[in-house]
Structure 1
Amino acid sequence: MLSEVERFIVITGGPGSGKSTLIDHLREAGFSGSREAGRAIIQDQTAIGGRALPWHDPDLFAELMLSWELRSYSGAMARTAPVFFDRGIPDIIGYLRLEGRPVPAHLHTAARTFRYHRRVFIAPPWPEIYERDAERGQSPAEAERTYASMVATYPEYGYELVELPRLPVEERARFVTDHLR
């Protein structure tokens, strides 16, 4: 049986780079996967008129993302097969830094405590597939800055980044599963 660290695989990168599409494809292939915290929180907060939105209260938004990620992590512990995470706890740190916000000590503690596979897959900016939608209001330039923030943040916590190729989703999925063997 694989340990949590070996089973918990993060796919990160900037918005609109194909992360969620890849995780959806891996789910269809029989793997488990988490939903992206930020997108789900934006949907929920918008539906209830909440203020934990990145454009209203980025610090509260980050706290809700942390709560979401901790719950996703806890839920994944009950599984014995690999679980693909649509972003991880270090993404929240990268987000706060990108926004010029302070990173609370408990967030650093969470990133050091709740560990993922040492190889983190990162999706590079992909302008040809980038689209804005109701939850993704960032410009392509902001998406590139988000990518750069993740490139800087994950290695600080001991992760090795593996860049995903800009290929059709089936080939991207095969790239990921081949790298985990």
Structure 2
Amino acid sequence: MNHRFVITGGPGGGKSTILSALAKRGYHGVPESARRIIKERLAAGLTPRPDPEAFAHEILRSDIKKYRELRAYDHPVFFDRGVLDALYMLDEAQALTSNEISQYVSQFPYNGIVFLLPPWEEIYTTDSERDQTFEESVDVFEGMRTWYSEWGYETLEVPRGTPDERVSFMLQRVNSP
């Protein structure tokens, strides 16, 4: 069984909060790459993001490194976004061929269930690393739903609720036969 689980969706859906709540229950989580990259760029006095293609390539390199660092786990590990998220960005920028994307998808598989956090306007905020509008968050959410499905993943929408309720929902699915 592949114990690498992706948590994805649009910006501001609660992915980082869910990762923290999972950590409190003893689960290993892998933070998203984009926030770290943006923080580093801002600290260096650069714009938050380079052009979309360069940004997506940088995220992809980081996500692949994180994936490879976690060789074999016999218990669930949760990724705040996965390699496929970066591939989506590169596909949107028309920076990779379908064949190249397919090779990446087969080299870096995740569990067949992908947890999709829906846009949630009541909790949506912007900050120095998240400058997208709520409408852009909705677009990314829909894109992720379609993208992961196209690559054979089952997207499971996590209902809105407290972080504990959302984590319980996810773990119920992870631990079911």
The alignment's TM-score, normalised by the length of structure 1, stands at: 0.89
Asked if the contact 2:90/2:96 (under 8 Å) is kept, the reply is no
> Displacement of 1:72 after TM fit?
1.0
- Any idea what the Cα deviations from partners look like across 1:79-132, whole Å, max 9, x if unmatched? 4321100001111132345xx411414444212220000000000010000000
Asked if the contact 1:14/1:145 (under 8 Å) is kept, the reply is yes
2:4 pairs, out of 2, 8, 15, with 8
Unaligned runs of 5+ in 2: none
Is 1:131 aligned with 2:91?
no
> Displacement of 1:77 after TM fit?
1.4
Q: 1:107 to 1:50 in 2, by over 3 A?
A: farther
Runs of 4+ with deviation above 3 angstroms: 105-108
How far apart, in 1, do the equivalents of 2:66 and 2:46 lie?
22
Is 1:46 aligned with 2:42?
yes
Asked if the contact 2:12/2:119 (under 8 Å) is kept, the reply is yes
Residue correspondences, number: 173
2:67 pairs, out of 58, 73, 78, with 73
Percent identity between matched residues is 36
Asked if the contact 2:53/2:95 (under 8 Å) is kept, the reply is no
> Does the residue aligned with 2:130 lie in a helix, a strand or coil?
coil
One-letter code aligned to 2:15: K
Asked if the contact 1:119/1:159 (under 8 Å) is kept, the reply is yes
Report the counterpart of residue 78 of structure 2 in structure 1: 84
How far apart, in 1, do the equivalents of 2:123 and 2:42 lie?
25
Asked if the contact 1:93/1:153 (under 8 Å) is kept, the reply is no
- Over aligned residues, Cα RMSD in angstroms? 1.6
How far apart, in 2, do the equivalents of 1:107 and 1:49 lie?
33
